Amino acid sequence: LLRKSVAILNRMTGTSIANTRNIEILEHLIREAKDESSLHFAVTIVKDLNTQLVFSESDVSDDRLISLQSILWKEWDMRQWLSAKQFFVVINTLSKEKPAKQLHLSIREILMHNLSIFDTDNGIALHDTIEKELCSAFDKFMLIPCLNYLALSDWITQQEEFLCFSQMLQNINFKADESQAIDGKVLEEAITFDLRLRSTESPPNISIENHVATLLQCYPQHTELTVQLLLDKTNKNIKNQELTRILQLIWTKDEGNKKKKTLTSKMLHFLLKDKKKRAYWIELLANSSIISDHNLFLKLLQDSLQGWLHGTEEKKGDAKNVPFHSKVIELVSSDTFAKAKSFHQSLIKSVNEGYQELWLNNKKWTSEEIRKVNWELWQQILNQIDNIPKVEDLDEKNVESASKNLCSNLDYCFECRLWFEQKNLMQPRLFTFFNQVLAQLITKDNLLPIHIYEYLVRHWKVIKDISSHFSMNVNSLLPQLEKIVNEYRQFSKLLHTFKCIRCNYLFEHDLSDRLKEFEHQSDNWKAQGFASVKEKYKDEIQLLKLYEQKMKLILKRNQSSIFQKIWEKYHKQCKSIRDQTPLFIFNKVFDDMDHTWENFKQVHSTPFGSLKYKDLEWVSTKYSNDSRGIKKRLMSEMKYLFPKYKEKRQQEIANNAKKKLKKEIHLKEQLPSWLELMKVTEQMKEYHPHNDKIKEDKKWRKYVKALARMEEVTRTNEDISIEQTSQCYDDCIECVGEGAKPCMDIGLFNALTRCEDQLKILAENQNFNDEAYFDNTLNVLRKNRHQAIQDLVTSLRCVNSTMQNTLWKCPLEDMTSLAKAILKLHPKGQEFVKMIRKCCNKDLSTISTIVNEADKIRTEESLKQLKDAMAFGEWQFASCEDVLQGKKGKELMLKINDTTWYCEEIGENVDRVLLGVKKQELKEIESVIQQFEECKEVNSYRIEFWKKGGRIDIINDNKRKEEQIYDDKKPFCLSVALQKDEFENCKELWKQRLMEWKKQCLELRKKFPVLNYFCFNQVHFLIKKVNQLNMPNCPDRAIKASKYIKPFLQKINCDVTDRDVNNVLKDWTNFNSKDLDQYNFNNNNNFRQCRDSIAKFGKILNPIWMSSQHNCVDEKPFSIGLHAGKPNLIIGSKELLFELLEHILICNKTTTEEDI
């Protein structure tokens, strides 16, 4: 038994499955299968497992068989059987792979054993006295195709389990389970499975149609699904006989008529939804007697036919709306409906009621419908659709009514156009009718009013199309009618051309009274005969034909702006001509215009090379200053001037003309500014400091020549070609570009020309062209007592600096370079021009004299003060406190008696003396000037020392008493009378101190990392506050500590408490200075006290730093090696340098090294 179980599973999976665990897994998965896809999923999983847990059937030893057998029977004992749904899924899957007779014996045995669980009486599965789940009526219905499939095997049909199973499925009571819902998808699978088996020769063991009919009566909501399934031949390969059989069963069962009526109505309504389903509906009409002769069934068919024809089915909302005539065609074109004799009378009745919808001209007929009509049945309804009108004979008495009827007759033919194209019984009658209408139009053309001719012209294409379907003898009427229509068409075009010309191109006095009458009456003669109109105005028509070609040519060119301007010119010239023959003026104006037009075309044939200014009057447009507008207008003219040229050739002419016309326009705009630039450039060269090196280059000579030529043309009003103008423009652009006009617009050239003399002073006077002297000049002007001269400083500084850097000091080799340098002044803007004018409104030579005189006086005063300094002067340096408070004025001072010079003033006075005093006098004050340079260096070392936190200890021993002068709290002074060596020694001393302190700083920060959170000046501040707070009886000690000390400690550890602050104060008081001996500091007596206090501070704060989780010395070696003043590429690694940054320093140019 175990080997059989393994065999069936092997067959289902397609592989060898002998592993017990695989068997357990597969059986478990099959028990959970609900449909075919889930079954395949189970098999696939076991296939995958089998590759890992496989052994062959030959490997199954007796010991292993005993083990597996106990496991398998344990599974069976646990009632692991397939349910009805699972059994259906398995059988359905097997049926798609092979016939039942080809199933392996082991599989058949297992399937039979599964059948045995179903009870033959009540459908309750029993095994070993243990009750199974109830098998519902639909479960039994679902098992019918399984039984039919298994019945194809002779071996299976002989088994007792099969016979019992077949007996159970004979009686299915759907009414008992009517409250239970049915899955439509499962229903479809069951019916499809069963009907798929019908391809075999043997009949089914149990016919599923009997139960389908019963099922639908209990579950009518599944009617449409079932009908659709049975009609779907292409997808499921099912025939319609089964649906017919189901209807027969419905009407032969002893059920109430109400259920039969409801179910049948649902089916018929579903069949009427589209044409494909209606084919079977028509079969029902034809074969109704085969299904049932019950009066109610026949009435339902009759009502469905009438309802569909009258549109009540469409009103239900889910049926497609079909026109009435299409419904009639569908029925009468069906060979099957021809057999439904009992329903023909209903169709005829509906046709009689809706005859208007069947008329030939109802505009709903399609060519396809006419071609497919079955004319044998149509004989019965032809009388209803034949509405061909009669042709009324035209004579002089009934012209108006007969003409309207002729138009109406043709309209009818147009509406029946499709009936002319397809062969049908109505076609000969329609041909005859149409031939009669054409005959009337041809034979009575002398009576036809003009509106008939207009109608024929409008519909001529349709008339020709209908005639093309006629036989040869009928079609011969068309050329005769066409000749008549063409005559009117030519007359109509002539009249239309004359009306268009008269509006804009003819004088009233150039027309005769008859011509005016002819044009005026044309609006009201539609009812008049065409023949009588031709006879009445034959002379006027002949005259218009004489000028017709000229009028057409005018209309052809009327969109050309060139043509309009030429015509307007000659039209005005002929306005005064009187007493001539009709259209004489028109003819003369046209001839003059055409002559000028042809000459103009000849000028342009060389593409615009010889075009001159006088020709521009014909091509000028409102877009004259827009290059895109010019090209657009020129291209629009090309099709009138050169209609035979290809588009590419026209484009070349237009592009060339646009390019040169654009240059002509720009030249006119730029010419005044270019002339001004030429004058200014030549002026600037005259007083340029290096005018001898500025040469007239080739570009400049061409530029000057082009401007001279354009000046001459402007002065003499000479007519110059566009080509020459274009060349002049190119020469100017090549030399100076287009920057001159903006300069002229802001008044730059005017200012430079008007201020020529003053600018010459700026270029030549030393007080302005020398940078040092110019700074002195500005200084003098600032201190002048006149406000007007003081106000000149800003403008003079800007103007002189700009002119010096752009023109006077810039190396210029030629005139072109000089002109371009002048154009560079434009970006300074109009404000710069105002400054030039402001400077030139003052006499700069007088300004220079004032500066010279003021300089002389101040130089003498400065010299006297410096001589006094030699005897009584004293250099005074700022104290540490002044430096830290930012008092820059006190950083370095020179006291002379009661006079004090600050650092900036010292420099100004020294510079003034150096510039204005002779060398012999300078020797007297040479030492003080040298001292000034030494003092500046000393001052820089001192300031850096203080800012880095350095402090000097006060020495009291007799050996170094002279160093008491270096007290941090007092200014440091040096007498001018001291020797030069004293100043050099002082400088060297402070330099050494600074270097030593820098080393101490690095050593302190390295030994006490907590100090890296502070600048040393901050540390000094904190030490001072700590000492104050530790003083006896300090008021509000806790509050002040929290205010001044705690914020700084929170930089180290954000979790610092008031208790930590108090511990710091205590540790400061109780600190033992010997604790610092272990650090081996370099003992330098100059700032030992300062160093030790900072070290003490670092030692006391170290525990706070250690207690913080985020504060530690990073041991990673980072060799950055950045180069100062050069770009450095830094490529960061994926690993972050720091996990958390609590403090960020944003540096700028004032950030000190100490801050970093």
Which tens digits make up the pLDDT trace of 334-390?
667 767 777 776 777 766 666 566 666 666 666 666 666 655 555 555 555 667 888
Same domain, 867 and 760: no
In a domain, 769, yes or no: yes
Q: By the 8 A CB rule, do 63 and 46 touch?
A: no
Residue found under tokens 């801050």: 1155
In a domain, 247, yes or no: no
In 3D, which of 329, 384, 311 has the Cα closest to residue 351? Answer: 384
Same domain, 853 and 828: no
Q: Helix or strand or coil: residue 1100? A: helix
**The pLDDT value given to residue 1:** 34
**pLDDT mean over 12-19:** 48
Statement: residue 229 has pLDDT above 70: no
Question: What confidence tier does 679 reach under pLDDT thresholds 50, 70, 90?
Answer: very high
Same domain, 740 and 829: yes
**The pLDDT value given to residue 656:** 72
Q: Please report how many Cα atoms fall inside a 13 Å half-sphere around the Cα of residue 841, on the Cβ side.
A: 11
In a domain, 811, yes or no: yes
Q: How confident is the model over 497-528, as pLDDT tens digits?
A: 888 888 888 888 888 888 888 888 888 888 88
Q: How confident is the model over 167-188, as pLDDT tens digits?
A: 777 777 777 677 777 787 888 7
**pLDDT mean over 392-419:** 83
Dihedral angle, C-alpha 56, 61, 64, 70, nearest 10 °: 100
In a domain, 393, yes or no: yes
Tokens for 819, please give them. 């002109």
Statement: residue 775 has pLDDT above 50: yes
Q: Helix or strand or coil: residue 480? A: helix
Same domain, 449 and 530: no
Tokens for 985, please give them. 């020694």
Tell me the H-state helices in 1041-1080: 1046-1052, 1058-1069
**The pLDDT value given to residue 698:** 92
Q: How confident is the model over 257-304, as pLDDT tens digits?
A: 777 777 777 777 777 777 777 777 777 777 777 777 777 777 777 777
**The pLDDT value given to residue 79:** 45
Other C-beta atoms lying within 10 Å of the C-beta of residue 390:
9
In a domain, 572, yes or no: yes
Packing angle, helices 698-716 and 647-686, rounded to 10: 110
Same domain, 770 and 895: no
Give this prediction's pTM.
Answer: 0.37
Last residue within a domain, chosen from 790, 816, 835: 835
Question: What confidence tier does 254 reach under pLDDT thresholds 50, 70, 90?
Answer: low
Q: How confident is the model over 1117-1140, as pLDDT tens digits?
A: 555 566 766 777 776 665 655 555
| Lowest mean per-residue pLDDT among 107-121, 618-632, 750-764, 1072-1086 | 618-632
In a domain, 458, yes or no: yes
In a domain, 1135, yes or no: yes
What is the distance between the alpha carbons of residues 530 and 480, in angstroms, rounded to a whole number? 17
**The pLDDT value given to residue 65:** 45
Same domain, 468 and 505: no
What is the distance between the alpha carbons of residues 894 and 874, in angstroms, rounded to a whole number? 6
**The pLDDT value given to residue 78:** 41
**The pLDDT value given to residue 317:** 54
Instruction: Please tell me the total count of domains within the chain.
Output: 5
Same domain, 1018 and 1043: yes
Same domain, 674 and 781: yes
- The fraction of the chain above a pLDDT of 90, given in percent, is 2
Q: By the 8 A CB rule, do 10 and 107 touch?
A: no
Q: How confident is the model over 1017-1045, as pLDDT tens digits?
A: 989 999 998 898 889 888 888 888 888 88
Last residue within a domain, chosen from 562, 584, 604: 604
What is the distance between the alpha carbons of residues 194 and 1125, in angstroms, rounded to a whole number? 92
| Lowest mean per-residue pLDDT among 359-373, 461-475, 635-649, 681-695 | 359-373
Q: By the 8 A CB rule, do 996 and 1004 touch?
A: no
Q: Pick the more confident residue, 990 or 595.
A: 990
Q: Pick the more confident residue, 1010 or 641.
A: 1010
Last residue within a domain, chosen from 1001, 1026, 1051: 1001
Q: How confident is the model over 898-936, as pLDDT tens digits?
A: 888 888 878 777 887 787 777 777 777 888 888 888 898
Mean pLDDT, rounded, of the chain: 75
Residue found under tokens 């089915």: 313
Same domain, 980 and 868: yes
Across 267-276, 599-608, 920-929, 1095-1104, the highest mean pLDDT is recorded for 1095-1104
What is the distance between the alpha carbons of residues 782 and 565, in angstroms, rounded to a whole number? 68
Across 272-281, 368-377, 459-468, 1074-1083, the highest mean pLDDT is recorded for 459-468
Q: By the 8 A CB rule, do 868 and 896 touch?
A: yes
Going through 1057-1117 in order, the beta strands assigned E by DSSP cover none
Q: Pick the more confident residue, 701 or 1072.
A: 701
**The pLDDT value given to residue 71:** 46
Q: Pick the more confident residue, 818 or 969.
A: 818
What is the pairing mode between strands 899-902 and 892-896? Answer: antiparallel
Q: By the 8 A CB rule, do 17 and 23 touch?
A: yes
Same domain, 687 and 663: yes
Same domain, 456 and 527: no
- The fraction of the chain above a pLDDT of 70, given in percent, is 72
Same domain, 792 and 892: no
Q: By the 8 A CB rule, do 948 and 1016 touch?
A: yes
**CA dist list (Å): 565 to 547, 569, 583, 614:** 22, 6, 21, 13
In a domain, 115, yes or no: no
The residue segments making up the domain with residue 1051 are 1008-1117+1127-1156
Other C-beta atoms lying within 10 Å of the C-beta of residue 916:
17
| Lowest mean per-residue pLDDT among 34-48, 561-575, 941-955 | 34-48
Q: Helix or strand or coil: residue 12? A: helix
